[in-house]
Structure 1
Amino acid sequence: MTNNSIKPGQVWLDTEGKRIHSHGGSIIYIDGTFYWYGENKEKSKPGSNIWHWGVRAYASQDLYNWEDKGLIIPPNLEDESSPLHPSKFLDRPHIIYNRFTKKYVCWLKIMQPDASQKSTVLVADDFLGPYTIVKEGIKPLGMSAGDFDMVVNPSDGKAYYYFERVHSEMICADLTDDYTDVTGYYSTHFPQSHPPYVREAPAHFYRDGLHYLVTSGTTGYFPNPSEVACSSLYHGPFEVLGNPHVGDATNTSFGSQICSVFKHPLKKDLYIALADRWVTEHTPGNPTTYEEAAERFDRIFNPKKGMDPTVDHFNPVDTTKSDFVWLPFRFDGKMAYLDWHDEWRIEDYE
């Protein structure tokens, strides 16, 4: 079946009729082809001890129909200590191209057993791989680095790394010339005392002289209100503008979490928020509303309440059934809004 529109929140199949698995993902445009890549969750059933099955990529000419290009970063099944082993908590791959070294550079977030988070860096000569690990187990700036985004300044090729300093604040760090490490120069933003208030999942885009960061709160796989902020500089300061999701009475960003924002290169002003709907069915014992999830996370992480991680137990979420919510931004002055559409088409934009 050929798709001719985007239908947020509905099951999305590739050109072979298989469910797409490209979560926490991004789109990169290379030589006239769109490539969508992300976490492959096809085997991540609760109880399987499989968090991921590598990084999968898809190719498209129209953003509707996606051809499976396979695992560009396959899981390492032989070495249980490898950050690529399926049991490791590998999240949110981001790939940027270095025009000076002619390398594709991929950063991965790997959550550790003690809940700290470290980074693995890989490089490849071709976007589709093969990728080779060049650094692993690193803590950028000595920090536990969580959800992140990476952006390259198109004018001078300088790269920046936005990441959540786990359960604390957002960091913007300069990357080295080869994009495989940080220089040591950084700025801090949106400080908060603890989840669920800490901002995570940063998604950067640039429009009309402003750098935008869209972030979510910290409630695990359970969705919460997004927040958009902007600045004239990569390093801020950022002005918080508010929740972009229009009419979202559930306070769940339409039941999703934005992972990246893609500027359509062939359109004047089309910016697409790519989001994951991680939870598509309720698991008994888990929160049913944002307010319930936020209250649980506050009780677990609030130092004034004892920070007791055993206060509430969360049951595993079946991410093999996670879907995608892609929506176009609408701008009014500086503010970026997301309206709900049951269906929308790229062709409706200039």
Structure 2
Amino acid sequence: MYKLTWAVVLLTLYYTTTIRTTLARSTRYIVPGATWRDTDGEILSAHAGGVVQSNGTWYWFGQNERANITDTFSGINVYSSDDLTNWRYEGQALSPLNGTAIAPDLVVERPKVVYNEPADTWLWFHSDNSSYGLLKQGFATSPNVTGPYTFQGAITPLGGTSQDFGLFKDVDGVAYAMYSNGDAADAHDDLIVRLDANFTGPEELVYTFFDWDLEAPVMLRTEGRYYIVMSHKTGYRYNNVEVYSAETIGGPWSSGSYIAPAGTRTFNSQSTIFFTIKGSERTSYIYGGDLWNSEDLWDSRYIWLPAFPNDTTGGLTIEWHDLYTIDVTSGEFGYPEGTRYEAEHGVVSGDAAVVVQPNASGFKLATGLGNGSVSITGITGTGNPQWVSLHYHNHDALWGDNRGGNNITLARYATLSVNGLVHTEKLRQPSGSTGFVLTQTVNVTFERGGGNEIRLEGWNGTLAADLDAIVVYGDIYEDEN
């Protein structure tokens, strides 16, 4: 019995260690819109987040959203990384506390963090009730950047209201809050407010974007200008994020422009984070946004893309890449090439057909993927996990940034099969504007060599998005040959 018990213990330790080592493999790429996992292999949950850097380590804070959670607020998570690609879960920075403004039935969202060395680290957030009638700002402190944070209170800033919230710390150490003042008829403004020297509260209104009616503010500073990006108030409908710039934070601020092609609705993202990577070769920037999934919030994704501010024109643009690398030492981006397989060269069945589309890569795509399918064969695989990008066309949603807009389809759904087996039964395909091909990237393991197949069809008889092409990239993990 003694030997058997120790054998079981050793076997358990072996398998636990083996599984954890497998899950903790280092990934090569940042993959916008794909399921992102932490170094323990768990789905990374840091929505509407903020980031702070210290001693070469980035800390990413965000809302905890998990499957089967019914509480409105279930905590703020924090992750750490030294390469912006692989993130380690550090635990909950802030947890619900009954009887306070961070109770489970209340709203705690858009967490942002600033240092106030040598005193505490400050965590600020939008504080509200489920009907969004309180419109406050909450804050918590910790002597450690990873927490746990102690809730300190919630305020009405400068005696007014506050909705979506952002935070920016300038190079001189001064911190600024940015927020919308609400949805009331007399509250469609966006504000920049300076915090006091100890970051304990707002001190002075610095600038007002009168009647701008925008939300989700995030700020970036270059050598020459400040940039603030904000999204429109369209609920869970994606919209065209705007950018404004100024030489000083007090303005005057420029006229606005979009940061991405209008029909992409900022590649179906809402602004939340900017990263500045000061490398030996160049200073680079990454825009971070949330790809919300209103049906399953826990499955909301992240759209992180290279950002390019232009101090001459005052504009800022982001570029789509299916996946990319960032060298945090040099500051250089890397864009790997994949192998493209056009859908028009595939085999269609049922109601599916190949039709012309002037904006598709081969000027054709496969459509009618409801009671029909398209199969792409002859795909070469490595036998290891690979990223495969589906380039699709879903034109269901109405274009525009106006409020309202009922009866808009936010997404179509497809079933994806690999080599005859269902890989993803219900693959969500967010909508876009007519003529714009969007991208969705999934983790697939093919058999080694040629002869692999991908089939796409409508989920449960519903209409899937049109398929333009698939692009197959190399191995996901660093330890693969």
Q: Tell which has more relative contact order, 1 or 2 (C-alpha 8 A, sep 6+).
A: 1
Instruction: Give the TM interval when normalised to the shorter protein.
Output: 0.7 to 0.9
C-alpha RMSD of the superposition: 1.8
CA distance in 2, matches of 1:227, 1:16: 36
Q: Does 1:212 align with 2:227?
A: yes
- Residue 183 of structure 1: CA displacement? 1.4
> With structure 1 as the length reference, what TM-score do the two structures score?
0.80
Which of 175, 180, 187 is equivalent to 2:207?
Answer: 187
Q: Does 1:321 align with 2:335?
A: no
Partner in structure 2 of residue 51 of structure 1: 72
Q: Which amino acid aligns with 1:74?
A: S
> With structure 2 as the length reference, what TM-score do the two structures score?
0.59
Partner in structure 2 of residue 178 of structure 1: 198
The answer to whether the 8 A contact 2:72-2:130 is kept is no
- Residue 180 of structure 1: CA displacement? 1.4
CA distance in 2, matches of 1:97, 1:37: 14
- Stretches of structure 1 lacking an aligned partner (at least 5 in a row): 193-197, 280-315
Partner in structure 1 of residue 286 of structure 2: 272
- Residue 29 of structure 1: CA displacement? 1.4
- Stretches of structure 2 lacking an aligned partner (at least 5 in a row): 1-24, 333-481
Partner in structure 1 of residue 238 of structure 2: 223
- Residue 191 of structure 1: CA displacement? 1.6
- Residue 344 of structure 1: CA displacement? 1.0
The answer to whether the 8 A contact 2:125-2:165 is kept is no
Instruction: Describe the SS at the equivalent of 2:298.
Output: helix
- Residue 74 of structure 1: CA displacement? 1.6
CA distance in 2, matches of 1:187, 1:27: 23
Q: Which amino acid aligns with 2:208?
A: T
Instruction: Describe the SS at the equivalent of 1:141.
Output: helix
CA distance in 2, matches of 1:172, 1:212: 12
- CA deviation string 1:297-329 (max 9, x = no partner): xxxxxxxxxxxxxxxxxxx53211111000011
Partner in structure 1 of residue 176 of structure 2: 160
- CA deviation string 1:209-241 (max 9, x = no partner): 211000000012221110000011112221124
Instruction: Describe the SS at the equivalent of 1:253.
Output: helix
Give the 5 Å matches for 1:113-152.
113-116=130-133, 117-136=135-154, 138-152=155-169
Q: Which amino acid aligns with 2:177?
A: Y
- CA deviation string 1:257-314 (max 9, x = no partner): 01021111336321111111112xxxxxxxxxxxxxxxxxxxxxxxxxxxxxxxxxxx
Q: Relative to 1, partners in 2 of residues 1:124 and 1:349: Cα closer, same or farther, differing over 3 Å?
A: closer
- Residue 113 of structure 1: CA displacement? 4.4
Q: Which amino acid aligns with 1:150?
A: L
CA distance in 2, matches of 1:146, 1:16: 34
CA distance in 1, matches of 2:245, 2:131: 34
| % identical equivalent positions | 28
CA distance in 1, matches of 2:225, 2:100: 39
CA distance in 2, matches of 1:227, 1:319: 24
The answer to whether the 8 A contact 1:26-1:262 is kept is no
Instruction: Describe the SS at the equivalent of 2:193.
Output: strand
- Residue 146 of structure 1: CA displacement? 1.1
The answer to whether the 8 A contact 1:44-1:51 is kept is no
Q: Relative to 1, partners in 2 of residues 1:217 and 1:130: Cα closer, same or farther, differing over 3 Å?
A: same
Which structure's residues are more often strand, by fraction?
2
Instruction: Describe the SS at the equivalent of 1:14.
Output: coil
